[in-house]
Structure 1
Amino acid sequence: LDAGEYDAIILAASGLKRLGLESRIRQIIATQLSLPAVGQGALGLECRTNDSAVLELIAPLADAKTEVCIRAERAFNKTLHGGCQVPIAGFAVLDGEDLFLQGRVGKPDGSVLLKAEVRGMPENAEVLGQQLAQALLDQGAGPLLAALYD
């Protein structure tokens, strides 16, 4: 960018902050403009279920709010049979006492973009994800996604 080879580069703001380059951030892209893929920004840890020492070490890393949001997003993606090769976006956030979940399904060329959102109790995260997927299926997401898998 500094050499003039690019007009812009889109990077994660959190990464730039960690590198001490926060002053280089020119704009944060709002979710209204570009919704992320399901699970973006969340880290998952995996270990043996019977390894109590490791489980104890990683327990403080668990974040209940993130877990609720990711459960909703993953249920949304699973209901749509999403994968890495299809244009599905999903983003959940806790908003006061509610879980707010937004979803998008589109054509790769951008000619079609279906949008939906749901709101409900965090304890119903998976159901909300399924409801969001159904709202997009009701708008025609099924045939749109099926065409991409063929």
Structure 2
Amino acid sequence: MAAPTSQAQPADPGSPEDGKAPGPPASETDAGPGEAAARQEVKISVEDGGYFSGTVYFAAAGQNHGGFVFNGTTHDTTDNDQEVYLEVAVEGYSPNEFRNPVDKNKNWNKVVWDPQAIRTEHAEMRICNSDLAWDTCSEWRAFNR
């Protein structure tokens, strides 16, 4: 039996193009349970390969599946005929992979969520550089609502 997987998709139709929910971050509005969590600027790097830079946040319950939203760019910093990719895991599920074209940068606006929950409480993200023998990955970066 295969391990369960989380769900991923582009941000919901009707959401702002920049992926940001309307209104101030939750930390400025004294958000309660189920409301959106504050956005965080992040940069995650992998040695000899690339980095992800952008924003991440947890959507409010009822918006974007209450999931973990990331909006930014993966940068491939080496011209080595290999690809850079993101891995994003939520609530203990197997990670989703988001792959760049070989030796190119890619913009992302994605949502990853737990299909069994009204809102996602925990997510982890890392960036990897694919290689013929094995992949080199950054440490997992953990995020909590």
Q: TM-score, normalised by structure 2?
A: 0.34
More helix by share: 1
Q: Which has the larger Rg?
A: 1
Q: Which one scores higher on RCO, CA 8 angstroms, separation ≥ 6?
A: 2
